[in-house]
Amino acid sequence: MLSLFEKIKLTINVNYPIYIHGETGTGKELVAKALHNFSQRKENNFVVVNCATIPKELAESELFGFEKGSFSGASSLTKGKFELSDGGTIFLDEIGELPLNLQSKLLRVIQESDIWRVGGQKPIKLDLRIIVATQRDLEEEVKIGNFREDLYHRLNVVKLEIPPLRERVEDVVTLANYFLQKQSSELGKKGLSFTHKALSILKLQDWKGNVRELENTIAKAIVMKKDDLPLNSKELGFAKNKNSFLDSQDSNRSIFEGRNFTEKINILEQKILVEELERNDWNKSKTANSLDLTRDKLYRLLNKHNLLEKNILP
């Protein structure tokens, strides 16, 4: 199965609109920004529009701009978000909140590659990439009349489904290192890294708040850090031997949801390994003894679950 980052690579320079779907906090804007930053449009603008926060009466002029004198208060020509995205990318977050009358105008942008400013006398040609995102089920929104069917089909050509972070363990380390670099740079604490134990612990969390929770966890640890040593699991808020997974029924229920028997067994196996490693200060010999395993068997299991240093470090 392709990881999310592998799917992003396949769609970097696709000129069709990209439709990103996922629950709150899964990192939809982060995915959209990655699509822009690694594309041929990366030197041009990346414009973010949250359709849920624009007042309906202002939405058209905000998106399409307006000519001088086109309405009371229009004292000068003003470019809209689409025009500001020319040559680059526009990211329309919460696209399901876009009013129906503007959905038809968006459809024209996709079909004709042009826009009409409010009060404009002629269309303005644009070259831009459109990325939309929502947590809503647009197919269901079409059925109940809240979303245009023709627009839905134009947007649904290239769809990226963003699973909850707990279902994409393979992406946790990549995201953690990205947020570490981003946050440490912003806070003037460059050069920080994680211990391999900390990365192992991060991979095993259920992350109910998704990517947003991961980012906040790392930011909080960086703010409170007083030295330049690698971030450890305690600094990230995961105290040693605290709340064993065997005693955490809510966490187990969340992380097991929707998984088959083999996947559940693998998760349990991985959690047992990490808990024993933590209990033994990551001493492999002591861990093998406590689990009644040969050292070779332990290393095979650690390698299977990507828990060896060579599997974890970037």
Q: Which domains are delineated in the chain?
A: 4-162 (3.40.50.300), 167-312 (1.10.8.60)
Across residues 290-311, what is the average pLDDT?
80
Helix (H) or strand (E) run with residue 49 in it: strand 46-50
The pLDDT score that the predictor gives to residue 253 is 56
Under DSSP, the state recorded for 238 is -
User: And the tokens for 178?
Assistant: 């990205």
The tens digit of pLDDT for each residue in 100-117 reads 999 999 999 999 999 999
Weakest-pLDDT range from 139-148, 180-189, 241-250: 241-250
Q: Check the CA dihedral 198-199-203-208 and report its sign.
A: positive
**Cα 183 from Cα 190, distance rounded (Å):** 9
The tens digit of pLDDT for each residue in 48-89 reads 999 999 998 899 999 999 988 788 888 888 999 999 999 999
The pLDDT score that the predictor gives to residue 258 is 64
Query: Which amino acid appears at position 296 of this protein?
Result: D
User: And the tokens for 85?
Assistant: 């995205």
**Cα 11 from Cα 89, distance rounded (Å):** 14
The pLDDT score that the predictor gives to residue 43 is 96
The pLDDT score that the predictor gives to residue 314 is 39
Across residues 252-263, what is the average pLDDT?
67
The pLDDT score that the predictor gives to residue 168 is 82
The pLDDT score that the predictor gives to residue 3 is 66
- The overall average pLDDT reported for the chain is 87
**Cα 10 from Cα 120, distance rounded (Å):** 38
Of 156, 136, 154, 155, nearest to 146 by C-alpha is 136
**Cα 68 from Cα 259, distance rounded (Å):** 58
Helix (H) or strand (E) run with residue 125 in it: strand 124-125
pLDDT-derived band at 228 (thresholds 50, 70, 90) equals confident
**Cα 250 from Cα 78, distance rounded (Å):** 52
**Is residue 247 scored above 50 in pLDDT?**
no
Return all residues near 58 (Cβ < 8 A) that are at least 6 apart.
none
The pLDDT score that the predictor gives to residue 264 is 77
pLDDT-derived band at 13 (thresholds 50, 70, 90) equals confident
The pLDDT score that the predictor gives to residue 205 is 86
Which of residues 206 and 122 earns the better pLDDT score?
A: 122
Across residues 166-191, what is the average pLDDT?
88
The pLDDT score that the predictor gives to residue 246 is 45
**Is residue 276 scored above 80 in pLDDT?**
yes
On the 0-12 / 13-18 / 19+ scale of CB atoms within 10 A, 143 is exposed
The pLDDT score that the predictor gives to residue 262 is 80
**Is residue 309 scored above 70 in pLDDT?**
no
Of 118, 104, 184, nearest to 147 by C-alpha is 104
Weakest-pLDDT range from 23-37, 104-118, 175-189, 256-270: 256-270
